[in-house]
Structure 1
Amino acid sequence: MQHGKYRFIVGFLVLPLALYAVFVIWPFIQSIYYSFTDWTGLSPDFKMVGFDNYTRMLKDDIFWKSLQHSVLLVLLLPLVTLGLALFFAFMLNVGGRRRKNAAVSGVRGSSFYKIAYFFPQVLSIVIVALLFQFAFNPRDGMLNSTLEGIGLGSIQPDWLGDPSLALVCVMSVLVWSTVGFFVVLFSAGMASIPKDFYEAALLDGANRFTTFFKITLPLLWDTVQSGWVYMGILALGVEAFTAVQVMTVGPGGPDYSTTVLPLYVYQTAFRDGQAGYATTIGVGLLIVTMAFAAIVMRLGRRDRLEF
């Protein structure tokens, strides 16, 4: 009986695992292989160069700038996005006024607010980046036009042209486009928490601040941890690449102030024709991503709470 069960399980898993090996594992192995070559990406001729690409990467100032920007996004983007999402979700689901029939309730019209928060998520990141590129235009963009309209015409930053502001602008766009997804996700989690927990805490004299940190956050911790990993991978992946590629000058400028690792991989491979070196940077990006996920999962490990 047990032997038949295992054959049944293997029969279901063999095809998905084969597809995963062909389309995921094998490209990773190829990338690591090409990182030891001088392949241009176009010619079938290349030769092995050993660790020369890795030595070059460690001495590459642009690589270290890109790594610094990517790490900054990994640290700040999940913190800001998840923090705002938790705050909005808590206010929508628990932050309403006390009513006669229920001690704890959400705000009126919470369903509409959830739709409004989630709306940016249905837009492509390319569309969002283009819209904000127009908004950040220093001449006739929405932000500087608003400043001029309220009498602050002398304060009109060159948002995407200022090296000290450009990366902040990109991060704000990523926060705006993703926070709604987590508002809805956390709202679903909070809706499953029994209201009796909140009502008992309020009867014992706890305030909303206390109930958030003593009830809501511990019971949502697994969801928050998963969201943190997801946001970190997003900051190191296609979302950050697309926003920088579409919005910034260069792209990646000015003066490499917004260059992130995925963009540098793309530019090295397709603009400079150095696919071998680009895969080396890609291997570095893989190591950073796996290290981030491992650190978050390790630091966020705690006893599972059930209710």
Structure 2
Amino acid sequence: MQHGKYRFIVGFLTVPLAIYGLFVIWPFIQSIFYSFTDWSGLSPEFEMVGFKNFTRMLDDEVFWKSLQHSVMFVVLLPLVTLTLALFFAFMLNVGGRRRKNAAIAGVRGSSFYKVVYFFPQVLSIAIVALLFQFAYNPNSGALNSGLKAVGLDGVQPDWLGDPDLALWCVFAVLVWCTVGFFVVLFSAGMASIPKDYYEAALLDGANRMTTFFKITLPLLWDTVQSGWAYMGILALGAESFAVVQIMTVGPNGGGPDYSTTVLPLYVYQKAFRDGQAAYATTIGVALLIVTLLFVAVVMRMGRRERLEY
């Protein structure tokens, strides 16, 4: 009986694992291999160059700028996004005033707010980037027009053209377009927490902040940990690439003086703009290492005894 069970499991997993290995694992292996060559990406011919690409990468000032920006995103973006999402979700589910028929309830109109917060998820990231590019326009954008309307004519920043502001403008867009997803995710998790826990805590004199840190956050910790890892991967992947590629200005693409260049964008530029596929795969290997380190740190720091209810 046991022999038949294991044979069934092996037979069931063979095809999915083969597909995963072909389309996920094999490209990683190829990338690592090509990082030791001088392949241009335009010709099938290449030669082995050893660690030359890695040495070049370590001496590349733009790479270090890109790495710095990506690390900033991977540290701050999950922190800001998840903090806002937890606050909004708590207010929408638990933080409202007591009502006659319920001691625990969200703020009034919470169903409407959930739709509003989730709305950016309906839009394509490319559309979001274009909309904010128009909003950041220093001459006719909504932000500077709003400042002018309230009498701040002298305060007209060049949002995406200023090296000190451009990266933070991109950061704000990424927060805006991702926080709604986690509001809905955390709201679903909070809805599964028994209301009796909150009612007992309130009867004992606990305030809303105490119930959040003593009840909500511990029981929601697994979801928060998964969200942190997912948010960090987004910050190192397609989300940051798309927003920077579409929004930022400059002859080099990636903001003035590479002030918004991130690792995914730099990989793209070297591979498809400069025809240096081997060097691009080398940067991609560095990006893979950063991503794995981030996930490992998050999973290690977030490890704790599982709570059940």
> Could you give the per-residue CA deviations for residues 135-189 of structure 1, whole angstroms, max 9, x where no partner exists?
0000000000000000001001100001111000001001000100000000000
Task: Report 1:115-194 matches (<5 A).
Answer: 115-194=115-194
> Could you give the per-residue CA deviations for residues 6-31 of structure 1, whole angstroms, max 9, x where no partner exists?
01111111110000000000000000
Q: Which residue of 1 aligns with 2:269?
A: 267
Please point out which of 255, 258, 270 is paired with 2:257. 255
CA distance in 2, matches of 1:95, 1:292: 32
**Secondary structure of residue in 2 paired with 1:36:** coil
Are 1:243 and 2:243 an aligned pair? yes
Q: Unaligned 5+ residue runs, structure 1?
A: none
**Secondary structure of residue in 2 paired with 1:255:** helix
Are 1:300 and 2:302 an aligned pair? yes
CA distance in 2, matches of 1:181, 1:257: 28
Moved more, 99-108 or 162-171: 99-108
**Secondary structure of residue in 2 paired with 1:19:** helix
CA distance in 1, matches of 2:161, 2:305: 47
Residues paired across the two proteins, number: 307
Task: Report 1:194-273 matches (<5 A).
Answer: 194-250=194-250, 251-273=253-275
Amino acid at match of 2:228: W
Deviation of 1:107 (Å): 1.7
Q: Which residue of 2 aligns with 1:99?
A: 99
Deviation of 1:102 (Å): 1.8
**Secondary structure of residue in 1 paired with 2:218:** helix
Q: Which residue of 2 aligns with 1:280?
A: 282
Query: 4+ runs of 1 displaced by more than 3 Å?
Result: none
Deviation of 1:234 (Å): 0.3
> Could you give the per-residue CA deviations for residues 182-230 of structure 1, whole angstroms, max 9, x where no partner exists?
0000000000000000000001110000000000000000000000000
Amino acid at match of 1:296: V
Amino acid at match of 1:292: F
Q: Which residue of 2 aligns with 1:36?
A: 36
CA distance in 2, matches of 1:96, 1:253: 43
Structural RMSD (CA): 0.6
Deviation of 1:101 (Å): 2.4
CA distance in 2, matches of 1:196, 1:45: 68
Amino acid at match of 2:119: F
Deviation of 1:95 (Å): 1.1
CA distance in 2, matches of 1:102, 1:174: 36
Deviation of 1:110 (Å): 1.2
Q: Which residue of 2 aligns with 1:76?
A: 76
Deviation of 1:96 (Å): 1.1
**Secondary structure of residue in 2 paired with 1:262:** helix
CA distance in 2, matches of 1:77, 1:29: 30
Moved more, 65-74 or 107-116: 107-116
CA distance in 2, matches of 1:9, 1:247: 48
Are 1:61 and 2:61 an aligned pair? yes
Deviation of 1:108 (Å): 2.1
**Secondary structure of residue in 2 paired with 1:240:** helix
Deviation of 1:120 (Å): 0.3
Deviation of 1:298 (Å): 0.2
CA distance in 1, matches of 2:184, 2:306: 22
**Secondary structure of residue in 1 paired with 2:256:** coil
CA distance in 2, matches of 1:160, 1:248: 6
**Secondary structure of residue in 2 paired with 1:37:** coil
**Secondary structure of residue in 1 paired with 2:140:** coil
Deviation of 1:53 (Å): 0.4
Deviation of 1:100 (Å): 2.0
Amino acid at match of 2:198: Y
TM-score normalised by structure 1 residue count: 0.99
CA distance in 1, matches of 2:99, 2:191: 17
CA distance in 1, matches of 2:274, 2:185: 41
Amino acid at match of 1:263: L
